[in-house]
Amino acid sequence: MKINILKKWLLALGGTALLFTSCEKTNEGPNITANNLKGMFVVCEGSFNQANGDVTFYNPDSAQSIKNLYYKANGAALGDIVQAFEIVDTLGFIAVNNSQKVTVVNMKTFKVIKNISGFSYPRSVVRADKNSVYVSNGNGYSKNYIYKIDLTSLKKVDSLAVATGPEKLIVVNTKVYAAIAGGWKNDGKAVVEIDPSTFKITNTFTVAPVPIDIVADKDNNIWAYCKGVASYDANYNATYSNMGISKINVSTKVVNTFPLTTMSASGTNNIAVSNDGNTIYYVNDGLFAMPVNATALPTTKLVNQLFYGLDVDPQSGNIICLDAVNSKAIGYNVNGTEQFSFQTATYPNSVVFSY
Amino acid sequence: MNRFVLLVVLIFSPLLLVISTCEKVVAQSITDTVFQMSEVVVTASRNQHFGNNFKTEVFTRDELGAYAGESLSRFLTSNTALNVKAYGVGGALANITLRGTATSHVQVNWNGFPINSATLGSCDISMIPAGGFNQISVVYGASGAVYGSGTFGGAINLDSYVKPEKTFSGSVQLGYQSLKATDGSATLHIGNNKVAWQISAWGAKSDNEFTYYDYINLNYHTQTDGAWNDAGVIQNIVMKLTPASTLEVGLWYQVKKYNIPSHVGSTSYETQKDSTLKLFVAYKTHGNRWGLQIKSAIFDDYQHYWQKASAQSSVNSIDSHISATQWYSDANFRYYIQPYLSIDAGVTGSYISADVSAYGDIKKEKGLATFIGLKYDKRRWSWQTALRKEWNSDFYSNILASFGASWQLIPDNWILRANASQKFRKPTFNDLYWVPGGNPNLKPETGYSAEIGSQSTIWKNTHAKLSTDLSLYWSQVRDMIVWRPAGAYWEAMNYQRVHSTGMEAKLLFDIQRLHRKYHSSLMVTLNRSIAQSNADTQEKVMIYSPKIITAWETKISAGIMDFTVWHHFTADRFYEDNALLKPYQTIDVQVGAKIPVTKETKLGIHATVYNLTNTRYELIRLYPMPGRYWSIKMSYTF
C-alpha cells in the first residue's frame, strides 16, 4: 500500500516536472549562405563586461538581418566590447577591445579563422597597404602603439609607439592617419600621419582636444571630431570644454577648428562623409550636415535625435545612424527622411559596407 | 492578492481563536490556571517562534562542522538544491536566490538582525564561514510581517547561541585543495551553569589556480590571477545573570582580500578587500508565562575595490571605497495567554549610514518597525498570524500581514502546512543614490507569497525510514527595481512585476543497522519565474532562474568509514533576454574516516573529488568554474 503511494507520488513528481520543461528557443534568424554576405555590417559593442558584442548583418535588398552574425556563424560569443571592423578582401578583422584581441573571420561564412592576441586595448583596424593592416591600441596608460599585422601570416610583425590613446585609423592617398585622443587621460590633441612604406610618423597635426574620429573629404582634407576635455563635478556629471570639429589641410598643414558649444555625443564614430565627398555629417545633440567648403557649423539639425554613431552607405548615399538606446540602425536619405530601420545587437557604434 | 491575504487573516484569526479557546473554556474551570512555560519556548526568538508553519531546512553544527574553513556558499552548493550564484569558486562573490526571486530578496540574519548589504541589498555568502555558527536555517518564503524588508524569496538565519551548561568541546581542522588552497579552523566551546563561551576562528589562502576553456579566445587558459585570502573570528559569550535572565554578547570580525580574476575572454586587473566588524548584545528574561528580549547590534562593513588599466600601471583607473554602518535594536515581549496561545509585541529601530564615493556624500536612513503576532500551538493544530508596519526616512510599508497554519493529519507522520504573507522591500542605497542612475523617487517593491506543503513519513520500521516534504508556492513582486538603459546611462526604475510559481520536493531514506548507516536524499526544485515590465505586456523569464534544480546525496557509513556521493543538476537558464546558459550536472565523491582516539576525541580524515566528470560549466556567464579538483581535510574533535 505504501509502496503504491510512493509510486504514485513519484509519477506525480515526474509529471509536474514535465510541465516545467520548455521548448523555448532563441530566435535564430535567416540562414547564411556563402553568397549572401553582401550588405551592411553594424559593429555592436555590447555591454561592458557582458561579452555580448557582435556584428549585425543587414541586406538592404531583401531587408533581412542577422542580429548576432558572429554567434550564429560560430556558435560562440565574439567577446567584450566589439570596437571596430575592417574588411580586407576575403577576410574580416574585428577589434574586440575588452577581450584584447583581433578576430579574423572568413567573409564568405563569417567563421573565425584566427584570434590574434597580444593587444591590451585595440580600438581601430584599417588596411594600410597591400600586405598589412594596422591596429591602434592603448588607453593612455600603457602600450600605446600602432601594431602592424601581416596579411599572409596573420601575426603582429611590428609596432609603432605613439602618444597616448590612439583611436580611429583611416587611409587617405596611401597614407594612414591616426587620431590620438589621449585614452583615459583625455589629453590627446593630435592627428598623426604614418607612411606605410617606412612605418614611421611623417606628420603631426594639432587639433582640438580629444579627437576620437576622423574622415577625409573629396579634397583629401582630414576632418577630426574632437570631443573636448571632460571634467566631472561631485556627482560625476561631465562637462566638456574646447570641443570642436577640426579640418586639416594635409597639403598646407593648416588646421581650422570649428568650435562646438555643446557636447552630447556618447559614442566614438561621430563623423562621416557623403559619397561624393562634398558633405560632412556629424552627430552631437542631433544629426548635422555641413558642406566641406562651409565656413561655419550648421545651426539646424538634419535629424533631431541623439545617436551613438553614424556612417554613409557608399551605394545609396543614405546616412545610417545608430540608436544605442533602442539598439537600432536607422537609414536616412540626404534630406533627413527616414528610409528604413532594423534591430541590432547592443550598442551599435559604426557600419561597414560590403557590396 | 494583498486584500485576499488580509481577508484570510482577518477572517480566520478570530475564527480560529474562537474555535481553539472554546474547548478550553470548559477545561479552564477544571484545570489550575497557573502554568509555567519552559525557558527554551518562552525565550525563543521571534523568528523561531513564528517559523514553524513555514518550510525550514535546519543545519546543525555537526553538519556545518564538516565545512569548517569553507564558506556558506560551498556548504549550500553541496547540501541543497538552492540556486547559488557564484562568480567562481572559493573566495568569489556568491549570492543566493530562493523561489525564483532576486538575490536582494533573501534576508540573511545573524542572531535575528539582517546583515544584507545596505548598498546592494544582497548578501555575499562567500563571506559567511560555514563552521562559524551552531545552526543555520533556510526559511523558504519567510514571513514579511516577521522578518521585514526583503524576504520575497525567504530568509537565512545564522545562529550562534550557546547555552550555559557544563561543557568543554572543540575541534581543529586543516584542509588542502588542488586549486592551491589551504584552510584551517578551530572552534572551542567552554561552559558551566552560569557562563558559556564559544569561539570559532578560521583562515584560508588560495591561489585559486585552475585551467578552463576560454570559449571567446577559443583556447585553454590557466587562471593565475584569482588569488584570495580570508581570516576571521566569531565568538559568543552567554552569561546567566539570574535563573531567569541571560546576557549574550557576540562578535564577528573578518577580513578578505580577493584578486578578482579576469573573466572569460578578457584581461582585467581588479582587487577587492572586504572587512566587517559585527557586534551584538542581547538581554533575555522571562517569567512563568512571559518572555522579554532586548537586543542590539552594530555592523560596520568596509569595502575597497580598485582596478588598474594594466598590470604595470601605478595608477588605479578605478578606486572605490564603500563604508556602511548598520545599527539595529529590537525589543520583543511575549505573553502566554494559555500554554498553547501566545501573543508577541515588538519594536525594531534601525539607523544605517553609507559613505560611497559614487553617492557624492554620506547617506543615512532611519527606520522603525512595530510588530504584533498571535500563535496557537496545541496537539495537532498550530496556527499563527502576524502584523507589521515599517517606517523609513523616505517611505513606509503598508501593514504587512501574514498567516500560517499546520495540521498533523497523522500525528508525527503527516503534517500539512499552509502560509501566506505580504512582502515588501525598500530600495537599496545604490538604487536611490548612485550617481549616475540612482533614483530617489523609487517606490518600495511590494507583493506576497503563499505556500501549501506536506511533510510525511511514508514508511518506517525499527531500522529504516522513508519521508518526504513537498511544497507548492506562488509569489508576486510588484514594482520590482531594475537598472535599465536610459540614454547614455543606466537608471534604477520600478520596472517590472514578477510572478513566480514552483514546487520543492524532498525524499529522504535512512537505514541504520548496528554500526552501518545508509542515507539518501533527493531534492528537486521546479520554478517558473516570469517578469513583465510595467510598460508593456511582454513576458520574459527571470534571468539566472533555472526551471529545474536537483540535488541527490547518498552516504554510507560503516564503523569508522564513510562514503558520500553528491549529484547536482541545473537546467538551462537565461543570462540575457534571449541567451541561455547550458544545463550542467556535477558529481562529487568523498571518502573518509572518523577514528576514535579516546572515548571523547576523534580524528577525521576525508578526501573529496569535486566535479568528478570534469564538467565545463558556469554559474554566472563568463565566470568559469573549475573542472575536476580535489581536497583533503583532517580534523580533530574533542
Interface with A, mutate which of B215, B217, B503, B552 (most A CBs under 10 A): B217
Within 13 Å of residue B561, how many CA atoms lie on the same side as its CB? Answer: 4
Q: In this complex, which of A51, A142, A234 lies closest to B264 when CB atoms are compared?
A: A51
Q: What is the mean pLDDT of residues A77-84?
A: 95
**How far, in Å, CA of A189 to CA of B544, rounded?**
45
Cβ-defined contact of B458 to A5 (cutoff 8 Å): yes
Which H, E and C letters describe B318-383, residue by residue? EEEEEEEEEEEEEEEEEEEEECCEEEEEEEEEEEEEEEEHHHCCCEEEEEEEEEEEEEEEECCEEE
- Amino acid at the residue A77: A
Residue of A nearest to B621 (CA): A50
**How far, in Å, CA of B64 to CA of A118, rounded?**
46
Please, which pLDDT band fits residue B11 given cuts at 50, 70 and 90? very low
Whether B312 has its CB under 8 Å from any CB of chain A: the answer is yes
Q: What is the mean pLDDT of residues B282-295?
A: 94
Strands B154-159 and B106-110: parallel
Residue the block writes with cell 609607439:
A161
Cβ-defined contact of B266 to A325 (cutoff 8 Å): no
Whether B580 has its CB under 8 Å from any CB of chain A: the answer is yes
Cα B507 to its chain centre, rounded Å, is 22
Residues of A in contact with B317 (CB under 8 A): 141, 184
Q: What is the mean pLDDT of residues A93-115?
A: 94
Cα B602 to its chain centre, rounded Å, is 30
Asked whether residue B30 carries a pLDDT value surpassing 60, the answer given is: no
- Give B462's contacts (C-beta < 8 A, 6+ positions apart): none
Cβ-defined contact of B217 to A101 (cutoff 8 Å): yes
| Radius of gyration of chain B, Cα coordinates, nearest whole angstrom | 25
Cβ-defined contact of A17 to B548 (cutoff 8 Å): yes
Residue of A nearest to B438 (CA): A235
Q: What is the pLDDT of residue B242?
A: 93
- For residue A51, give the C-alpha cell: 561579452
- For residue B293, give the C-alpha cell: 528580549
Could you read off the pLDDT of A177-202 as tens digits, one per residue? Answer: 999 998 877 789 999 999 999 999 99
End-to-end CA distance of chain A: 74
Helices H, strands E: what count in chain A?
Answer: 2, 29
Asked whether residue B637 carries a pLDDT value surpassing 80, the answer given is: yes
Please, which pLDDT band fits residue B162 given cuts at 50, 70 and 90? confident
Whether B508 has its CB under 8 Å from any CB of chain A: the answer is no
Residue A348 preceded by cis peptide, ω within 30: no
Instruction: Say if CB A297 and CB A290 are below 8 A apart.
Output: yes
Residues of A in contact with B309 (CB under 8 A): 121, 139-142, 184
Q: What is the pLDDT of residue A242?
A: 93
Pick from B108, B111, B69: nearest CA to B251:
B111
Asked whether residue A15 carries a pLDDT value surpassing 50, the answer given is: no
Provide the mean pLDDT of chain B.
90
**How far, in Å, CA of B481 to CA of B440, rounded?**
12
Q: What is the pLDDT of residue B541?
A: 87
Q: What is the pLDDT of residue A22?
A: 38
Q: What is the percent of chain B with per-residue pLDDT over 90, rounded to a whole number?
A: 76
Instruction: Say if CB A348 and CB A81 are below 8 A apart.
Output: no
Q: What is the largest CA-CA distance in chain B?
A: 85
Residue of A nearest to B487 (CA): A325
Closest Cα in chain A, distance from residue B504 (Å): 10
**How far, in Å, CA of A14 to CA of A6, rounded?**
12
Asked whether residue A12 carries a pLDDT value surpassing 70, the answer given is: no
Residues of A in contact with B571 (CB under 8 A): 21
Provide the mean pLDDT of chain A.
89
Interface with B, mutate which of A16, A120, A240 (most B CBs under 10 A): A16
Could you read off the pLDDT of A284-309 as tens digits, one per residue? Answer: 999 999 999 999 999 999 999 999 99
Q: In this complex, which of B263, B310, B526 lies closest to A142 when CB atoms are compared?
A: B310
Q: What is the mean pLDDT of residues B545-558?
A: 96
Q: Which residue has the higher pLDDT, A68 or B313?
A: A68
**How far, in Å, CA of A210 to CA of A199, rounded?**
24
CB pairs under 8 A between A and B: 107
Asked whether residue B2 carries a pLDDT value surpassing 50, the answer given is: no
Q: What is the pLDDT of residue A14?
A: 44
Whether B466 has its CB under 8 Å from any CB of chain A: the answer is yes
Please, which pLDDT band fits residue A30 given cuts at 50, 70 and 90? low
Residues of A in contact with B455 (CB under 8 A): none
Could you read off the pLDDT of B368-397 as tens digits, one per residue? Answer: 999 999 999 988 999 999 999 999 988 888
What ipTM was reported for this prediction? 0.77
Which H, E and C letters describe A148-209, residue by residue? EEECCCCEEEEEEECCCCEEEEEEECCEEEEEECCHHHCCCCEEEEEECCCCEEEEEEECCC
Instruction: Say if CB B465 and CB B454 are below 8 A apart.
Output: no
Q: What is the pLDDT of residue B487?
A: 59
- Amino acid at the residue A72: K
Please, which pLDDT band fits residue B488 given cuts at 50, 70 and 90? low
Cβ-defined contact of B310 to A234 (cutoff 8 Å): no
Please, which pLDDT band fits residue B116 given cuts at 50, 70 and 90? very high
Which H, E and C letters describe B301-336, residue by residue? EEEEEEEECCCCCCCEEEEEEEEEEEEEEEEEEEEE
What domains are defined for chain B?
A: 2-17+33-637 (2.40.170.20)
Cβ-defined contact of A5 to B267 (cutoff 8 Å): no
Q: In this complex, which of B265, B458, B485 lies closest to A51 when CB atoms are compared?
A: B265
- For residue B481, give the C-alpha cell: 527595481
- Cα A287–A293–A296 angle (5° rounding)? 60
Cβ-defined contact of A20 to B547 (cutoff 8 Å): yes
Please, which pLDDT band fits residue A8 given cuts at 50, 70 and 90? very low
Q: What is the mean pLDDT of residues B26-34?
A: 43
Asked whether residue A26 carries a pLDDT value surpassing 50, the answer given is: no
Phi, psi angle pair for B8, to nearest 5°: -55, -45
**How far, in Å, CA of A238 to CA of B488, rounded?**
12
Instruction: Say if CB A349 and CB A329 are below 8 A apart.
Output: no
Helix (H, G, I), strand (E, B) or coil at A73: helix
Residue the block writes with cell 505504501:
A2
Q: Which residue has the higher pLDDT, B9 or B618?
A: B618
- Amino acid at the residue B386: A
Residues of A in contact with B459 (CB under 8 A): 2-3, 6
Asked whether residue A6 carries a pLDDT value surpassing 70, the answer given is: no
Q: In this complex, which of B266, B487, B524 lies closest to A100 when CB atoms are compared?
A: B266
- Amino acid at the residue A283: V
Q: What is the mean pLDDT of residues B222-227?
A: 94
Could you read off the pLDDT of A237-288 as tens digits, one per residue? Answer: 678 999 999 999 999 999 999 999 989 888 999 999 999 999 999 999 999 9
**How far, in Å, CA of A74 to CA of B426, rounded?**
44
Instruction: Say if CB B340 and CB B16 are below 8 A apart.
Output: no
Q: What is the pLDDT of residue A179?
A: 97
Interface with A, mutate which of B218, B266, B305, B552 (most A CBs under 10 A): B266
**How far, in Å, CA of B272 to CA of B523, rounded?**
35
